[in-house]
Amino acid sequence: MAKSFRMRHEAREWFSKIKKPTKDTPPINTDFDLYYLCLMMGLASKNKSTPDPSHSADFVDRFVKQHERQQNLIIGLLIQAELSDKSLTLDDKNQAKKILKDLIDPTNRFTSLTDDGMDKMNAYASGGFDYLQSKMPKPYFAEDFLIRYVEILKTEMDNNHNW
């Protein structure tokens, strides 16, 4: 069985005041929304941490409907982050192919990721959560959180030559 998206219990608790579990109260409705915010921060800031299995849980085994259209973009950002982490570019064809094989599984109809690819994605989401915690206090209002989140993400994107 393929690996799933995983979120740390600590992250769920930290975000608990801003996640609204109904479709009618955007912008943060699902665990995947929170995961996505952490993932983007981890990728932009180049932060990874391995979520401890005893302090985290799988929450979904596929890209949820609201994020399906971004699946290829997200996977592309993961590939770019891993190439950068190893100081490689797509011009390093043999090494790039190896990274692609390590991360991508075209037969996985849910995520298109290998188990290693999912582990890496979960590590960037966990690292993004660590980074967010280091930059802001626990959020209580989604609007305030998103304003600060965008400021931090923009700074990290400006500092990351891959973005």
Q: pLDDT per residue over 69-97, tens digit each?
A: 888 999 999 999 999 999 988 888 999 99
pLDDT at 89 (0 to 100): 82
pTM equals: 0.91
Residue 117 has a pLDDT of 94
- Do residues 119 and 6 lie in contact, with contact meaning Cβ atoms separated by under 8 Å? no
Mean pLDDT of 25-36: 82
CA atoms within a 13 Å half-sphere pointing along the CA-CB vector of 100: 10
**What is the pLDDT at residue 110?**
87
- Sequence-distant (6+) residues with CB within 8 A of 111 are 2, 61, 62, 63, 71, 117, 118
Per residue in 134-159, pLDDT (tens digit) is: 999 999 988 899 999 999 999 999 99
pLDDT grade for 24, boundaries at 50, 70 and 90: low
What's the pLDDT tens digit per position in 92-140? Answer: 899 999 999 999 998 888 888 999 999 999 999 999 999 999 999 999 9
